[in-house]
Structures are given as structure tokens and as C-alpha cells.
Amino acid sequence: MNAAKKAAIISKPGKPELAAILPPLLEWLRAHDYEALIDTYTAAHLKIGDGIKREEIAAHKPAFVIVLGGDGTLLAAARAVAHAQIPILGVNLGSLGFLTEVALEELYPTLEGLHGNLCGTERRAMLYCQLVRSGKCVAEYTALNDVVAGKGTISRMADFDMFLNGVFITNYKADGLIISTPTGSTAYSLSSGGPILVPNVDGFVITPVSPHSLTYRPLVVHDSAQFEILVKTTPEESYLTVDGQVGTPLRSGDRVICKKSGDHVILLRLQHKNFFDVLRTKLKWGER
């Protein structure tokens, strides 16, 4: 990479170990002629200034973003910078991370590889979602993992009609309905019995959560499809959640329309690791 570029750091809040991790990282960036941009949570760990709001980082045009945290932190970072096609390096500070694959002890060797143009990249598809109410779009979101229409109460099942390219599929009575990307297939969808999709598969997964009928099974469709969920519950009974982090209550008659986003996430990858290495490590699959 060329000198005098910018690099951004996005950190997970509430991680006290970052107070020790960040100073040497900033020193490495300075020594390699990168101007460091830090988000508000990083600034809080360093107890300096206010930092930059995550949604404003892309406007500063960093060459890449370092995410210090877990998959949740990376999901938030992805929604903030994907539209600008800024590569993300995910450093895992938690116990389970399919996206933040770089361990802390691998941080500096990976940065050296990145600085020397030796890091690979991987493009991940995203979902674009609109909430349509009374014929008007009242909210729109982009998701790297999934979009979930789910019940908002403990005792009542949600009730949804599902359409694919305008064709009625079925009525789902379930705790929820997940539309996931290949990336999201290892998240909520997997825990609900959905299949694992290799990241470069051109598909999405529709996974019902605890459906009323055992004959409802996860459905894999091509990513050129447009999904439409018709909500048939009352306002207090269902909720739209994006990547498990943002969302809004749903009302009876709402339509949730999802399709492949024009944006995609660029993940910086270690050359010696592949998706199945990650699966074996994270899911404790056996070695040869």
C-alpha cells in the first residue's frame, strides 16, 4: 500500500483490554505512514477527544478499517462503510467469530502483509430491505447477515405470508422468519436449523423459527429473487430486526421487501486461511 493513507479503527465498547491494545496499534500505523481515524468507542478507550461517528467514517476515505471486537462490531462497521467499498480487517477479541477471523496475536503479521499488498480480499453479498406501510416506504436497511421478522411477545406466534418474485409461497405461523445471506447462514439461521452456505454461493436462505408445522423447512433460493413478507399480526406482536442490531416494530398489513443489495462488503483475509478452516475452528469440526 502507498504511504500517507488513512486507516480507521472501529472498536467494541466495554472491552477494557483495548486500553492496552490500542496505543501500540496507533504507533504501528504512524510508523507505516498511516493517519489513524478512530471512532467514538475507540476514543473512549483511549480517553481522548470525541472520535468520529461510525456512519461518518466512510466520508474520510480510509484505505481500510480495522475492527477490534467480534462479529457484532464488524456487522455494524460493514453497514457503515460497505457503500464506499472500504475493505475491513476483523480482529477477534471474543470467543466465536466467523467474520472476525484474525486473532489478536496475528494482528501485526496481518498488518505487515496488508501493508505489503499480500492480504487477500473476499466480497460478501448484502441484503437490501424496505419496510412498506400503507403503500409508502417508511424505513430501509442494508444487512450483511440477515433480516428477521419475528414475534415481539412471549406467548403469541407471528403470522406472515411469504412471496417470492410475486409468487405466493406459503403462510408461516412461527416465532419468526429469517432471510439470510450466505454470510448470515452461520448466524441466527444456523441456530434455527438452516443450512450453511459457502460465502460465494449466489443464494439466500429463508428459515422459519420454531414453525407451527414441522413440515416447514429452510428454503434456499437464488440471490436474484425478491422476497416479500406480508405481516398479518397486530403492532405489539412482531418486530423487524436487521443483523440483530437495528430495527422497528411491525404492524398488521406491513410489507417487508428484500432483495440483493447493490453494495457488498470487502473483507481482508489471511492468505493461508479458507472458509472451511474457519468452520473447523469455530464449530469444532474434526481435523484429519
* Residue positions annotated with a catalytic role: 71
Nearest to 159 by CA among 220, 213, 195: 213
Contact 188, 75 (CB under 8 A): no
Nearest to 88 by CA among 245, 282, 269: 269
Contacts of 142 (CB under 8 A, 6+ apart): 79, 82, 83, 126, 127, 128, 129, 242, 261, 263
Separation CA 179–CA 160 (nearest Å)? 13
The dihedrals phi and psi of 102, each to the nearest 5 degrees, come to -80, 120
Nearest to 28 by CA among 89, 96, 97, 80: 89
